[in-house]
Structure 1
Amino acid sequence: MRSSDVPGYTAADLHRYVAEPDKRPGRTAFQRDRARVLHSAALRRLAGKTQVVTPGSYAHAWDATPRTRLTHSLECAQVGRDLGAALGCDPDLVETACLAHDLGHPPFGHNGEKELDEVAAGCGGFEGNAQSLRLLARLEPKGFTPDGRPVGLNLTRAALDAATKYPWPRGGHPVDPASRKFGVYTDDLPVFHWLRQGAPPGRQCFEAQVMDWADDVAYSVHDVEDGLHAGHLDPNLLHAHPERREVFALAAARYAPGAQEDELAEALDRLLDQEWWPHGYDGSPRAQAGLKDATSQLIGRFCLAAEGATREAYGSGRLTRYGAELIVPRAQRLECAVLKSVADRYVIQRPDQERIRAEQRVVLRELASALTARAPEGLDPQFRALFTEAADDAARLRVIVDQIASLTDAAAVALHGRLVRRGA
């Protein structure tokens, strides 16, 4: 098969911002995209970024391997690839989007994202999804225009579009202009407009919708699994009325706006009534096996529900790009939302976490000040060059933020130690 022949996709879908020959003829354009993301430094750095449970916090030394942003991305990619293939998407395209969806994640998770948004107020703010596009289309060194401008990994139009979860700039949410979620910074609008040529404004392509649901499925299921492994979650609490009320209130406020307590209770009870639900989890080998089975059952439940509902609406043909909408039944969306709320309530909101989050915010704030004071000398070579070339203060601030966002959790702490504490 030639790279120009991908069933269900047009030649425009396969265009790259800068045209280039294939070094290994015979691969599809989307296989090349997947390989580029897999080999990127940005993907490797996700191994040092915490997902939910901090490494070393497990209750059992023989299973002290919680998920990182990298393992989450790999699991999201497996879920998305299978679901996309079942619906007629190119599986390499969906896998590329899933692998890339968290590349812009900064150190310290969403806590770091909020702090960097404040640090970056003078250049348009910070958002992990917009940072992912920036990495793919500018920062990750792979390709350049003939006049020397970086184009990042130079992925196809369809791949960049599939990796764009929020296809609008800040303030451009199609329903809620005040939303903090956006997918492109102002200075990256040229490539955004290119990748969105012909796309309905504010609408995710079908592959991005598959990626988005795969992300929800992977992190809702696996975050609960990690919470159980780490001993942070007692499954028996989910039968206690006061605890349930807190879980439902959090779900309605954050993960399922507008949902009523009774329908959230029904969603949780549907899961608790399954024979495979990990009741009485105690960390024993048999319980470990049971939990792994529950994880598989949940992923299958959520994906099959979406596949069945979407196929019922659109038939058995190939579903790609803007030819369909992914349909996820409300029952499964609420079940997923309840799982997210459980992980949030018992893992993210643990009593010791707010102190840790406060310390992390200080690290990023002081690191930004120290790097600004030392720039460009204190920056890594890649960012030093970008800082020198920046046209104004806003562009220079964006480079400082790019440098910080690229760091792993440990690298941020170490760099802070070198630049701030030793200089105090």
Structure 2
Amino acid sequence: MTVPGRRVAPVPHSPAAPYDGHARARWAPEPPKQSARGDFARDRARVVHSSALRRLAGKTQVVGPTSDDFVRNRLTHTLEVAQVGRDLGAALGCDPDVVETACLAHDLGHPPFGHNGEVALDEAAAPCGGFEGNAHTLRLLTRLEAKTTGPGGRSTGLNLTRASLDAATKYPWGRERDRRKYGVFAEDREVFAWLRAGAPDGRRCVEAQVMDWADDVAYSVHDVEDAVQSGAVDLRALRDPAERAVLARVARDAYAPDAAPEDLLAALDRLLALPWWPGPYDGSRRALAGLKELTSRLVGRFTGAAEAATRATHGGGPLTRYAADLVVPPAARLEVAVLKGVAAHWVMRAERHLAVLAGQRALLAELVERLEAGAPAALAPVFRADWAAAGDDAARRRVVVDQVASLTDPSAVALHRALTAGPGVPGPT
């Protein structure tokens, strides 16, 4: 889509004016707003009020959102990322609304059943170029989420500013560069080129880097808290030599491929030696308080390490857009990786969970096939116009994948049951 009058030539970034008119521009022109809120505060409000954000309450973080009243779902995880990211970004001089908007948006593109659902939809979307949650986030923000329209009536999504969209882009490249992690589908290249105008090729702005580190920190710390509280992890196992060896392998393979197992175990030992590391968990209020103290201290440890290292490298003053890079000490990255490995080893890869994961992937694959076979009548009304406008089979498959990705865990199970007239496949545990 081309909007008349839009300047599309690359505009060099000026460190002296990091949030200038170029950064505040929107994909589709909008009339002036009668509001005291700034452009970036308006971006944040648009994400907060979006249906895509609300749906995260029904999507898996690590374990299913209905499995326990205590555990995180994608929405509670997102809110925690936003709090961590806003504070760290503000300490570095980033616009806090830009960082918080990016944090609130970072998981919007995740499908039902978390990363397991991503695997299933990537296979189902092979005819249209694959599926990746981060690329789908951009698609939601700029096309699928109903808020604004451009010339010709085509949806322009939330129509966020260039700075906010750029900050929400964790992987600013396409599938041709990295088949596992990328930030744009081929169909969305035009708006991607617009939001990246003037940005160094493949480089993330510092606000996106803050969002990414806040995500890692919240993910690693809070998922361990959930795993301990749910009984999936006994903290005493972290001192068992056999369990430690497996944990190091899992953490290396999944999160730190360049790290040696002994370095990951050394990182684990640093954490276990902390004076506020909790003892065995028994479910009491005292034990719960110990877990909360652990999460608070770890968040402070990891964000403080990044803030100190970044300031030591770049000095004082506001650090914004492409004037600086976030610096995370290797020791902090290893500690976060080994904590992520705890949830991966004892929860996501646990033997008891494997059959459920396989069932979830089969459910999503069949949903895609059933919806496509029954389209357009089987599609939700909001996707039928997209189906009618699709020019070929690949584009029609993308429309079906868009609908399946929009579902929550329970609604995916319910829709599968309705389309198959069978008992469905159990949701996550």
TM-score grouping bracket, smaller chain normalisation: over 0.9
1:57 shift after superposition: 4.0
2:28 — aligned with what? 18
Task: Please name the residue that 1:134 is paired with.
Answer: 139
Question: Separation in 1 of the partners of 2:417 and 2:238?
Answer: 42
Q: Residue 180 of structure 1: CA displacement?
A: 0.8
Aligned letter for 1:278? Answer: P
Q: 1:147 is aligned with what amino acid?
A: G
**Is residue 2:326 matched to residue 1:326?**
yes
SS in 1 for 2:321: coil
- Say whether the 8 Å CA contact 1:123–1:397 is kept in structure 2: yes
Are 1:57 and 1:230, in contact at CA under 8 Å, matched by a contact in 2? no
Equivalent positions of 1:60-209 (< 5 A) are: 64-173=69-178, 179-209=179-209
Quick check: 1:56–1:65 contact (8 Å CA) kept in 2? no
- TM-score between both structures, scaled by the size of structure 1: 0.94
Quote the Cα distance in structure 2 between the aligned partners of 1:386 and 1:171: 25
- Preserved CA contact (<8 Å) 2:165 2:195: yes
Q: Does structure 1 retain, via aligned residues, the 8 Å contact 2:64–2:113?
A: no
1:397 aligned counterpart, secondary structure: helix
Q: State the partner residue of 1:368.
A: 368
Offset from partner CA, 1:355-409 (integer Å, 9 cap, x none): 1011111111111111011100011111011111111111111000000000000
Structure 1 residue 207: deviation in Å? 0.4
The percentage of counterpart residues that share the same residue type is 61
Where do 5+ consecutive residues of structure 2 fail to align?
Answer: 1-15, 425-429
Structure 1 letter corresponding to 2:335: E
Contact kept in structure 1, 2:59 and 2:65, CA below 8 Å: no
How far residue 27 of structure 1 moved from its aligned partner, in angstroms, is 1.0
Are 1:17 and 1:155, in contact at CA under 8 Å, matched by a contact in 2? yes
Match for 1:45 among 52, 55, 59? 55
Aligned residues: 409
Query: How much has 1:21 moved relative to structure 2?
Result: 2.7
Match of 1:352, SS state, is helix
When residues 98 and 235 of structure 1 are mapped into structure 2, their CA distance, relative to the original with a 3 A threshold, is: same
For residue 422 of structure 1, report the CA deviation from its aligned partner. 4.7
Shift of 1:9: 1.1
1:355 has 2:360 as partner? no
Gaps of 5+ in 1: 1-5, 59-63, 174-178
* C-alpha contact 1:30 1:159 (8 A) present in aligned 2: yes
Q: Within 2, Cα distance between the matches of 1:39 and 1:264?
A: 41
Judging changes above 3 Å, is the alpha-carbon distance between structure 1 residues 354 and 265 closer, same or farther for their aligned structure 2 residues? same
1:271-310 pair list within 5 angstroms: 271-310=271-310
1:117 positional shift = 0.5
Q: CA deviation at 1:22?
A: 4.1
Tell me, yes or no, if structure 1 residue 35 matches structure 2 residue 45.
Answer: yes
Q: Which amino acid aligns with 1:289?
A: A
